[in-house]
Each structure stands twice: as structure tokens, then as C-alpha cells.
Amino acid sequence: MFVAQHPAEAHLLKGVLDSAGIESEIRHEALFGASGGVPVNEARPEIWVVDDERAAEAAALLRQQLPTGLEAGRPWRCASCGETVEAQFTACWKCGADAPL
């Protein structure tokens, strides 16, 4: 199960799975609305992969699709030396290691 940030993203990601031949469905707000407590506009759409055996494959695909953008604007941590590096750098200023994807 993958939780998207907003409905447009959910549909985009479902399209990615469709084109890879992985069947999926989008489930969302209604469930939250019915449970009470959580305002519908705060619910996030969920993408469910119909075939469990392809869930891992689907997750990998979705991860590739997520714009590095998800993390854009945030500092990242160098896997090599542990230094915190500002988002605009694509390599660690300290040791030169590439930014994680």
C-alpha cells in the first residue's frame, strides 16, 4: 500500500503502474470520512496493488517516480561521511560523495 500526498499524485502513480501492467486501485477519503474524527480533506489517497506478489515491484516503481522533489528543498545527509548537505548540492561538499537518489 502506498499513500500519496494528494489525489493528483495518486492518479499519476496509478498510471505508472498501469503502464507497467500492474493492476492497482485507489482508495481514499471515503473510508476516513466514514470513520469520523479525521477531516476528509486531510485524508490521503492510498494506492493498493491488487496482486500482492507484485507489491514490491510496484513499490520500487513508485519510488522511482517520486520526484526527488519529495525531498527537494530539504538538506540531505551524506551516506558516506554523515555530513548534512544543503538541498541544492548534488554532491557532499565535505567528502564529494554523490547525493542519494
Select from 16, 26, 97, 99 the one that contacts Zn ion (CB under 5 A): 97
Check binding of 99 to Zn ion (CB under 5 A). no
Q: By rule CB under 5 A, what count of residues binds Zn ion?
A: 8
Q: Quote the least distance from Cβ 88 to Zn ion, whole Å.
A: 15
Select from 40, 95, 98, 100 the one that contacts Zn ion (CB under 5 A): 95
Rg value, the chain, Cα: 17
**Long-range contact set of residues 92-100: C-beta below 8 Å, sequence gap at least 24:** 100/76
Interstrand relation of 24-27 and 2-3 (parallel, antiparallel or unpaired): unpaired
Q: Which of residues 39-78 bind Zn ion (CB under 5 A)?
A: 78
Residues 23, 58: Cα–Cα separation, whole Å: 9
Contacting positions for Zn ion (CB under 5 A): 78, 80-81, 83, 92, 94-95, 97
